[in-house]
Amino acid sequence: MSDASIPWPHAPAHRLTGAGAYMVTAGTYRKENRFDRPERLMVLHRGLLKLAVKYGWTLEAWAVFSNHYHFVAQAPANGAASLSIMLKELHAKSALWINRLDRQPGRMVWHNFWETRLTHQRSYLARLNYVHQNAVRHGLVNVASHYPWCSAGWFEQTADNAQVRTIYRFKVDEVSVDDEFSPAGEW
């Protein structure tokens, strides 16, 4: 096997095939807490929501932290190819903004992103719950809807009670997600 064909873990292959649901995780370079204050989290959160609309992605669950984010979204009807473009824009704009704020021009802010196409209903529902509950998993809040930069509060307000109970019943301890991040506890 040549070196060129070895799948390096720092550069995951992005298999953005067709329409459907995807779970996406992105992390900062060296898992550094670049977005460690409310105003920084707000800018990153707002950027993700705006760009999802711009590129036709329908967000169903999201959680934004000081050094990473997750989301589950439906790809546009024409397929998922726009995901890379959308995240490149989010990462470029947020990196420029945070580096200007910190007076660190050219500093590397984002590392990469990983996506999984969700093709099984149980896996999809479990990941929705995983993302909604991620702030609790990281010890930032005791109740997910209390974390302002995630979708749990929105979900609980907009979905019917039966749907909320159904999603929240799915166990997340066996969900396989690259989530070895330690986000800043102060926000």
The pTM for the full model equals 0.88
Render pLDDT for 46-64 as a digit per residue (tens, 0 to 9).
999 999 999 999 999 999 9
pLDDT in tens, 98-117: 999 999 999 999 998 999 99
Bigger pLDDT: 104 or 17? Answer: 104
Q: Do residues 125 and 172 touch, judged by C-beta distance below 8 A?
A: no
Residue 24 makes CB contacts below 8 A (sequence gap 6+) with 70, 71, 72, 73, 83, 87, 113, 114, 115
Interacting residues of 131 by C-beta distance below 8 A, sequence separation 6+ = 23, 61, 62, 63, 70, 71, 72, 150, 151
> If you classify domain 18-169 with CATH, what class do you get?
alpha beta
The larger pLDDT score, comparing residue 162 to residue 186, is at 162
